[in-house]
Amino acid sequence: MAGDKVSFELASPEELVFAADVDMVVVPGAEGDFGVLPGHAPFIATVRPGVISVYQGDRIDERLFVAGGFAEVNERRCTVLAGEAHRVDALDRGEAEARLGAAEDDLKDADSDDERARAEAEIGVCRAMIEALE
């Protein structure tokens, strides 16, 4: 890797979704979006549902949807471990809307705080997925 690039990896439990040396990556952090450039200070952050933007030069080269997870950053690398991750261009709006409807039904039928929390989290993921497609 050249000294002017950041090694970026996005992994889900099923696969390594993306890996490349990039100029910058912008991640949807739980406390707000954060950009990672070469030489970034090390930290670990929670990732909220949303889109990771991968830059090559001054343009977005890749858009990747994550349903939340964790990011580890150091001077040379940014690694995001997500419970679910997809390239935005591989998302299907109809599937996302159907999934949202099912999650909303689950929320209505929830009998416990745990079931409500799971349904609300799924609703947040589905809404972020639909927003990513707009």
| Concatenated DSSP letters of 95-123 | HHHHHHHHHHHHHHH--SHHHHHHHHHHH
Mean pLDDT of the residues in the chain: 93
Q: What is the reported pLDDT for 70?
A: 97
pLDDT above 80: residue 3: no
- Residue 134 — pLDDT band, cuts 50, 70, 90? confident
If asked whether residues 84 and 96 sit together in one domain, one would say no
pLDDT above 90: residue 50: yes
If asked whether residues 27 and 84 sit together in one domain, one would say yes
Query: Is position 116 within any domain?
Result: yes
Q: What is the reported pLDDT for 2?
A: 53
Query: Is position 1 within any domain?
Result: no
| Domain limit, last residue, from 88, 104, 122 | 88
Q: What is the count of structural domains for the chain?
A: 2
Residue 93 is classified by DSSP as H
CATH number at residue 15: 2.60.15.10
A 10 A CB-CB count for 127 gives 14
If asked whether residues 21 and 75 sit together in one domain, one would say yes
Over residues 105-133, the mean pLDDT reads 91
Q: Which two tokens stand for residue 86?
A: 């997809």
If asked whether residues 13 and 69 sit together in one domain, one would say yes
If asked whether residues 98 and 116 sit together in one domain, one would say yes
Determine the structural domain holding residue 123 and report its residue range. Answer: 91-133
Buried-exposed string 69-91: b where 16+ CB fall within 10 A, e elsewhere:
bebebbeebbbbbbebbbeeeee
Q: What is the reported pLDDT for 110?
A: 86
If asked whether residues 103 and 78 sit together in one domain, one would say no
The separation between CA 128 and the C-alpha centre of its own chain, rounded to angstroms, equals 10
What would the pLDDT profile of 82-112 be if each residue is shown by its tens digit?
Answer: 999 999 999 999 999 999 999 999 999 889 9
Query: Is position 28 within any domain?
Result: yes
Q: What is the reported pLDDT for 45?
A: 96
pLDDT above 80: residue 116: yes
If asked whether residues 61 and 118 sit together in one domain, one would say no
If asked whether residues 28 and 65 sit together in one domain, one would say yes
Query: Is position 78 within any domain?
Result: yes
